[in-house]
Structure 1
Amino acid sequence: MVAELGAGRSSVLVLRGEAGVGKTALLEYLASRASSYRVVRAAGVESEVELPFGGLHQLCAQLGEFRTGVRRTALDTAFGLAPGSAPDRFQVGVAMLNLLAEAAERGPLVCLVDDVQWLDQVSAQTLAFVARRLLAERVALVFAVREPGGSDVLTGLDELFVTGLGYADARALLDTVITGVVDERVRDTFVAETRGNPLALLELHRGLSAGQLASGFGLPGGPGLTSRIEDGFVRRLDQLPPETRLLLLAAAAEPVGDAALLWRAAEYLDTSPDAVFLAESADLVHIGARVRFRHPLIRSAVYGAASPAEQRRVHNALALATDAEVDPDRRAWHRAYATAGLDEEVAAELESAAGRAQARGGAAAAAACLERASELTPDPGRRATRALAAAAAKFRAGEPDAADALLTIAALGPTDELQAAHAARLRAQLAFARQRGGESGTLLLEAANRLADLDDRFAPQAYLEALGAAVFAGRLGAERSLEKVAAAARAARQAAAPAGPMDLLLDAVATQFTDGYNAAVPSLRRALHDFRDAAQRGDEQVVQWLWRGCPVAAELWDDDAWHDLSCRGLELARGLGALGVMPGALTYRAALHLHAGEFVAANLLLTESDSIAASMASAPAREARFLLEAWRGDEETALASIELGVRDARARGEGRALSLADHAAAVLYNGLRHYDKAMEAARSACAQEDLGIFGWSLAEWVEAAVRSGAPSVASDALQRLRDRTSAAGTDWALGILARSAALLADGRRADDLYQEAIERLSRTRMAVHKARAHLLYGEWLRRQDRRQVARDQLRTAHDSLSDMGAVAFAERARLELAATGEKARTRSTDVRQELTAQEAQIAHLAAAGLTNAEIATELFLSRHTVDWHLRKVFTKLAVRSRRQLAPSLIDAASVVEA
């Protein structure tokens, strides 16, 4: 990593291993090797894990001279050091990325982050965001995280698993600290029990007499390795005076490492600063400008060995020493730890801290503050209210078990009907999050009905959640569950006048599943129109539900609406920093690119979606990924992706994903000319009505059945397709209908239908479907012995499908061309294909006139990384200026339209 820095490149590494295995020692080793570079450090602290941005603040405090302009505003607002509206997480991430990049301009920068498992969630996510975007900044970012139980947000980064020493090295290390006469079997037991863990080898012998060591009777057993290491530190603490232990406890309870704060707290504890000298002499802690324990386990050992009364005393002193104006949240937290009984004043202070934490994006911190506030609240009704708020916050923070426990607490207190209805909705949401099938849909519907009876403004959202659960459950749900949920939702909505786009959308979708597609089309169109208007206005509530609008646009075969909604949705999600909806917004945008034949763009957005999902420790959108692989046509890769997606879907109870998997298989097999398999897959995909999949699968079924010699099956599927596409009436819908109908037609009628399909699809964004129309038309023309005209159609299909990356369909075209007596021309290597997905995206943005700084902001990269990529793009495209980029890319599909 030091060599990479010297060469001007960034590098990222995650050290994983159990406590005491040497991760911290490796960080120190790196720091010593990089002594000529700037080194900054941060470390997670268990008692600060709920305080937002604490880890980032540690790093930023060491780079204060670079916090200027927009970076300073975003970061200081997040830290609560400056007034202003809360910046979104993307702004904070970009500000942090640019802060490190700016610091690295002065010389290589090494960032060491220890104990990531104890970092607050927002800091961990932000640093993972930064790590995935470092490239040419001359920054080395190294994380150390304890395993098991490490942080999932680092998944996908380069890793080094740090394991225990081998037997010989472990014996050699043990011999450096045990010099007396010890039975060989005892030594072997030490090595075996520690599994070569260096810290355990160095610490476990302490406190044992020579006789105990010699005989082995004193060997600790039972507790886990971490506990045994901490026990060794505790035995050393027992040898220190009470005053020294108390000051060490204050240092352990103050996670920032602020030495000045520690000395102020010492005054409230009536301890002398001299008390720490013995601890420093014992090599447990070093106090200079900052407080640093020799090992993180010493901190936890000190804190864990103290009595509850001692812990409360220390936290009270720290609260008194903390400035209420400068750091009210940490003061509130220390007051909460210092309080033994009930205290409304402290509870209210924590509730205020929760609001500030939520405004800064600290969902986990807000949840923790609300949880502790509920525990300290004397009034039963207020305690129930705070427990319910804490449960909702825990759910948003991704802690369903804690949310469940808090719901139980809330249920013990007096609650009104509205609070009980919200609690029921949250329980249903928890059930849906854990298992998308099962009873979650029923529970969500019951909660929605209760909210509707109380005329609550969240009732439409609850009904949409219930409908969503039924749609997701699909074929794995209870019999006719979708129709039952839709009927109940529609009946409830009829009792109240529609109040907004979400109400209209709910009515329209419910109508489709009660009265059928044709009956629902007018209301679907009206709802989609209002939904698009709300999205253009920037309605934040609508942003959270855009994923409902995109499938409706697909269901109506309205590519313009899909384009507008997906573009606007992605724009708003980025602007608002709505991380929760970003993966969905990216996925629906990627799906549109997929139908447009822009596979590179689709892959780029899906990769970004996966990256954000990983940073949030949530599941990636595998369904879109295996559909992309199906269109690409590599059978082995596509089937592996589909099989993985099916396993995940069954485990989650997602029947809709099974339908999408069948549709993907039908696309794959039609491309590979395995028409019997394609027909079976398409039939299975059409087994249940679904949003945005059913109509597409009918078109695959028609083609597969015709090619399999099953005209009656094809005719039945075509009639069902005609009913839907005629009602939709768009060029996309009618183009697909004409292409499918041509497969069952003869003579002039077939010729006219193929030409109509090509003409209509030419007026849409759906380039991959247009290319398939050229392919089918060329195949039909060859069979009519119209070879010259067939060659023109097949050549167009082959070239288009090849450029898109639809390999299997392109091969179909090549074989048909060969049958006409013409060899498909070998495509000259297009230098654009050598560009990586990110290079292609940057090249298109640069060609569109954006500056490097604007591209960096758009893509959440540093300016240095954009510079580095553009230099590579210029080399690959053999251009010298940005003006030459557009002509070089003129034939390529636009990678980013938003």
Structure 2
Amino acid sequence: MELPFAGLHQLCAPMLDQLDSLPEPQQVALNVALGIAPGEPPDHFLVALAALGLLSEAAARQPLLCLVDDAQWLDSASGQVLGFVARRLLADSVAIVFAVREPSTESELMDLPELWLHGLPEEDARALLARAIPGRLDRRVRDRLLAEMRGNPLALLELPRRLSATQLPGGFRLQGPQDLLNRIEQSFQQRLQELPKEARLLLLVAAAEPADDPLLVWRAAERLGIRASAAAATEAEGLLVIDASVRFRHPLVRSAIYRSASSKDRRAAHVALAEATDGQADPDRRAWHLAAAAARPDEQLALELQQSAGRARARGGLAAAAAFLRRSVVLTRDPDRRVGRVLAATQASLHAGEFDAALDLLAAAETGALDELQRARVDLLRAQIVSASGAGSKAPGQLLKAAKRLEQLDPELARETYLDAWGAALFAGELATTGTLHDVSRAARAAPRPTNPTVQAADLLLDGLSVLMTEGRRAAAATLKRAVRSYRDDELSVEKGLQWGVLASTASVELWDFESWEAVITRQMVLARDAGALAPLSVALNGTGIVVAWRGDFTAAARVIVEADAVTEATRTRIAPYGGILFAALRGREAEARARIDDTIDNALASGEGLAVQWARWSTAVLYNGLGRYEEALAGAQLAAADGMPDLFVTTWALPELIEAAAKLGRPELCAGPLERLRDSTNVTRTDWGLGIAARSEALVSEGDAADRLYREAIERLRTTRLRPELARAHLLYGEWLRHEQRRPDARSQLNIAYTMLAGMGADGFADRARQELRATGATVRSSGDAPRHELTAQEDHIARLARDGRTNGQIGAELYLSPRTVEWNLKKVFTKLGIGSRRELRDALPTPEEESTAV
């Protein structure tokens, strides 16, 4: 369990002759993960994609069944990879069956289809019992045995054979399932007691060596003076067979042997196994056996385990590295070294996603003598664990506490922690229990200034965001502009760019600077993709989906959101589908949008992600304004822009939706306050985006020449931006106002522009609203839904366009985390739906990239 990718290696070993069929990056990743070749630590999901491709290639020759027994004992890295593979098997002739002992908490296997295996039916249980106890058996005794065994086949075969005739009638009492397992193990232990000592020791050596390597077991046995004849006794008793491999009758035999042995014998077995292991070829297994044999602290051995942790980390085995480091803590006597190793083990456990183990280590560290810097590091690690484990409402307060403690000890780290706390508070939103945006911002402003004479991008970002919350946009604008410029144009480390790129994009939004927002989020996406950092890539893809959808390029947005969904599903990243929610709302697809919105609100409330709840409510307003259901739009906008919300971008974006819905409902009294707040926001930087939205909103509550002038201003300003849906909505609102003013020819002109733009980009809800208004002017217009269209799913459409552009199945699969066979399967469905027969025909069946870029 403690060796990274050990289970994956066992499963894939027979197929490694197919490794050359994989794309080179996948070959390299799998080779490094399995220890076949040196290299940079591979990303787990590239390893997983390689494993998926390998199984797919093997299944091309004949259908493949993979059996993973006792999956609860898989090493963590293998469990993550195989869980990923199982979720991505769609069109491949591959089945994976995981057998897991109940109860199981294996998160890697959650959400996979389950089949619960219960006891044998009574008739079958009776037949099996008759085999275990030949001859006549008293009916009352038989019924008692059947009730006791609960249909467990192993119990029916094992337990009765050790009972005499006098024990059978009254020797049982009904017990629970776990007690039954203990009874079976005890039965094996009783059988062990009847074996010669040499045979028991051979069984112990085999039980202590998880690789089931017969040569290694025999070398260790020789060191203990165990003769080959000892194997005969284990085979005769049916407990162990050693030939080409090492096979126990049942895993419970192995645990029974190991648990019943004395500590002295267990240490002797591990010492023998360590001596029999080649320290050059397999230093980590040797170190692990020596650690298991250690009866007292051993600094040299603790150091060897640290080195093993480094090798495990280099292969991408974060869980294995954490396990080696945790064991090194136990073997460390010196208090200072012990604290250092505890903190290192905690960090490794955090990165491996083993949050409970990390918290246990911190609790142990706090019982010792810590200096102030170590206590601050404990606080920081605890905060990072809370944040990473999805407790979004608690994370800001924990990070704020850590940052304050670090101020006098490591001012630069304190400021970085304040920036992390600001981001955590942003995402927690109204659900933050402690550490609100105002709390973090006030504390950050009072903290010591950076000592580095060169002002870093992160310092500018922290200063600007903190001032934004404490003094407002006008005071913060200049610093935020400098910060955004740094994240947009300056040379940044990959780590820092990925860590705070989202906050830099937030700053650009607060400045109503769409171009910088797009540049920053695109740069973050490229950084994440190049680094193979899939969790940050999921965040960046969601941001890119928002930007592209708001540009009105719905074809490109659909592709980005398909990839974002694929990455989020593959990595099981805890992030709301921000891009997908807005895209569905803009398109006016109520069923799809409501499903995303409702799921997001439920999940976000459970995880403490208040920003996602607010985002979903704002998107609700966009959806229902498009559908012309203004009461529902107003309700969503009022929730998203409530007075208690931080006056940041989602709150501000909800104001125009609130004003539009209220104006359409004839409730101008609801518009004055929101309009003033909107003007306050947009007047600071006075960009065409902000001023255009403000003019459009003010026009809704104006009359006569003032309204006409404001609608024209909104159109002129928004025309200079790339926000095509917002421009189209300005034409729509202007046309609706003109029709109300009985200026039908002018209204028809504006509404035609709006309808053409909205229908062209696929904003069906708003387009239908424009169509109805056009009909009211006397114009004849066909519904956008009347045009024939092929019903490709979003994923099929994305795959089709990538294939049209010349991408191979392997390249497409690597982008969408699918096997090449699944890509081929999707393409066949595309061909059927489009009525074509080959990739070449995709060029005629789909718009060209140039046509797509000019369609809006």
Fold-level match, TM-score > 0.5? yes
Corresponding position: 1:510 with 2:471: no
Task: Between 117-126 and 805-814, report the one with greater CA deviation.
Answer: 805-814
Mark the runs of 5 or more structure 1 residues left unpaired by the alignment.
1-47
8 Å contact kept, 1:434–1:652: no
- The offset of 1:455, in angstroms, is 3.1
Tell me whether 615-624 or 650-659 shows the greater mean CA deviation. 615-624
Matched residues in 2 for 1:828 and 1:639: separation?
Answer: 20
Kindly indicate whether residue 483 of structure 2 is the aligned counterpart of residue 483 of structure 1: no
Alignment of 1:299 with 2:254, yes or no, is yes
Whether 2:794 is the aligned partner of 1:842: answer no
Is 1:733 the counterpart of 2:685? The answer is: no
Which residue does the alignment assign to 2:457?
501
CA offsets per residue over residues 751-771 of structure 1, 9 Å max, x none? 454344445445544343334
Residue 792 of structure 2 aligns to which amino acid in structure 1? Answer: L
Q: Which amino acid aligns with 2:324?
A: C
Q: 1:600 to 1:397 in 2, by over 3 A?
A: farther
Quick one: distance in 1 between partners of 2:789 and 2:249?
53
> Which residue of the partner structure matches residue 743 of structure 1?
700
**Aligned to 1:465, which of 386, 395, 420?**
420
Partner of 1:585: 540
Which residue of the partner structure matches residue 718 of structure 1? 675
Name the counterpart of 1:60.
Answer: 12
Residues 441 and 466 of structure 2 are in contact (CA less than 8 Å); yes or no, is this contact kept in structure 1?
A: yes
Please identify, of 706-715 and 783-792, the stretch whose mean Cα deviation from structure 2 is larger. 783-792
Corresponding residue to 2:201 among 243, 246, 269: 246
> Which of the residues 812, 830, 853 maps onto 2:769?
812
1:362-761 mapped onto 2 (5 Å cutoff): 362-433=317-388, 436=391, 440-455=395-410, 457-477=412-432, 481-492=436-447, 494=449, 496=451, 497=453, 499-534=455-490, 539-597=494-552, 609=564, 612-613=567-568, 619-621=574-576, 627=582, 630-631=585-586, 633=588, 638=593, 641-686=596-641, 687=643, 688-761=645-718
Give the secondary-structure state (helix, strand or coil) at the position aligned to 1:111: strand
Letter in 2 for 1:708: L
TM-score, normalization by structure 1: 0.86
Cα displacement string for residues 283-322 of structure 1 (whole angstroms, at most 9, x for unaligned residues)? 4344332223343333333333333322222222221222
SS of 2:65's partner is strand
Assess if the C-alpha contact under 8 Å between 1:441 and 1:470 holds in 2.
yes
Q: Which residue, 259, 273, 284 being the options, matches 1:318?
A: 273
| Residues 738-887 of structure 1 aligned to structure 2 (within 5 Å) | 738-791=695-748, 793-794=750-751, 797-798=754-755, 801=758, 806-822=763-779, 824-827=781-784, 833-879=790-836, 882=839, 884-886=841-843
Tell me the matched-pair count: 846
Root-mean-square deviation (CA, aligned residues, Å) is 3.3
Q: Distance in 2 between matches of 1:600 and 1:320?
A: 63
Q: 1:825 to 1:636 in 2, by over 3 A?
A: closer
Does the 8 A contact of 2:400 with 2:435 survive in 1?
no
Cα deviation, 1:327-356, whole Å, max 9, x if unaligned, reads: 222221121111111011110011111122
Separation of aligned partners in 1, 2:103 and 2:575: 22
- After superposition, give the CA deviation of every residue in 1:807-853 in whole Å (9 maximum; x if it has no partner): 54444334434433456524477776522222222222233343444
Deviates more, 1:831-840 or 1:215-224: 215-224
Letter aligned with residue 5 of structure 2: F
Q: C-alpha displacement at 1:405, in angstroms?
A: 1.8
Question: Paired residue for 1:277?
Answer: 232
CA contact (8 A) 2:617 2:636 kept: yes
CA contact (8 A) 2:465 2:480 kept: yes
Matched position secondary structure for 1:693: helix
Partner residue of 1:210 out of 161, 165, 171 = 165
Once the two structures are TM-superposed, the CA of residue 513 in structure 1 deviates from its matched residue by 0.6
Q: CA deviation at 1:512?
A: 0.7
Moved more, 228-237 or 248-257: 228-237
Distance 1:409 1:156, change over 3 A: closer
The 5-angstrom pairing of residues 282-361 of structure 1 reads 282-361=237-316
The equivalent residue for 1:15 is none
Deviation string 1:245-268 (CA, Å, 9 cap, x unpaired) is: 222222222222222222222222
Cα gap change, 1:335 to 1:675, in 2 (>3 Å): same
User: Could you give the per-residue CA deviations for residues 629-686 of structure 1, whole angstroms, max 9, x where no partner exists?
Assistant: 5445565665565455444444444433342243233234433434334334323322
Match of 1:132 among 75, 78, 87: 87
Distance 2:436 2:747 in 1: 49
Helix, strand or coil at the partner of 1:292: strand
- Cα 1:472–1:862 change in 2 (3 A) is closer
Quote the offset at 1:706 in angstroms: 0.9
CA offsets per residue over residues 393-416 of structure 1, 9 Å max, x none?
Answer: 222222222222211222344444
What SS does the corresponding residue of 2:167 show, helix, strand or coil?
Answer: helix
Structure 1 stretch displaced more, 752-761 or 315-324: 752-761
Distance 1:872 1:680, change over 3 A: closer
Amino acid aligned to 1:55: G
User: Equivalent residue for 1:19?
Assistant: none
CA distance in 2, matches of 1:186, 1:793: 90
Give a deviation string over 1:73-102, Cα, whole Å, max 9, x none: 332322333222222223322322332333
Q: 2:3 aligns with which of 51, 59, 82?
A: 51
Task: Determine helix, strand or coil for the equivalent of 2:818.
Answer: coil
1-side partners of 2:131 and 2:575: how far apart? 49
Distance 1:837-1:229 versus aligned 2 partners, 3 A rule: farther
1:532 CA drift (Å): 2.2
Q: SS at the partner of 1:581?
A: helix
AA aligned to 1:503 is: D
**Residue 226 of structure 1: how far off its partner (Å):** 3.3
Pairwise CA distance, 1:51 = 2.0
The one-letter code of the counterpart of 2:185 is E
Q: Distance in 1 between matches of 2:770 and 2:137?
A: 79
For residue 210 of structure 1, give the secondary structure of its aligned residue in structure 2: coil
Question: For the Cα contact (< 8 Å) 1:181–1:214, is it kept in 2?
Answer: no
Q: Is the 8 A contact 1:114 1:143 kept in 2?
A: yes
Using the TM superposition, give the Cα deviation of residue 167 of structure 1 relative to its aligned residue in structure 2, in angstroms.
3.8
Distance 1:580 1:639, change over 3 A: closer
Contact 1:538 1:572 in 2 (8 A): no
| Aligned 8 A contact 2:45 2:571 in 1 | no
Cα distance in 2, alignment partners of residues 865 and 586 from structure 1: 22
**CA deviation after TM superposition for structure 1 residue 700, in Å:** 1.1
Deviation string for 1:682-708 (max 9, x for gaps)? 233222225431221111111122122
Query: How far, CA to CA, are the matches of 1:758 and 1:887 in structure 2?
Result: 36
Letter in 1 for 2:199: T
Please state whether the residue corresponding to 2:203 is helix, strand or coil: helix
The 1:185–1:432 alpha-carbon spacing in structure 2 relative to 1, beyond 3 Å, is: farther
Q: Which whole-Å deviations, capped at 9, do the CAs of 1:199-220 have from their partners, x for residues lacking one? A: 3333343422233322353666
Give the secondary-structure state (helix, strand or coil) at the position aligned to 2:166: helix
Alignment partners' CA distance in 2, 1:226 and 1:829: 65
Structure 1 residues 215 and 814, CA gap change in structure 2 (3 angstroms): farther
Cα separation, 1, equivalents of 2:115 and 2:337: 49
TM-score (norm 2): 0.90
Deviation for aligned residue 1:709: 1.8
* CA distance in structure 2 between the partners assigned to 1:278 and 1:560 by the alignment: 78
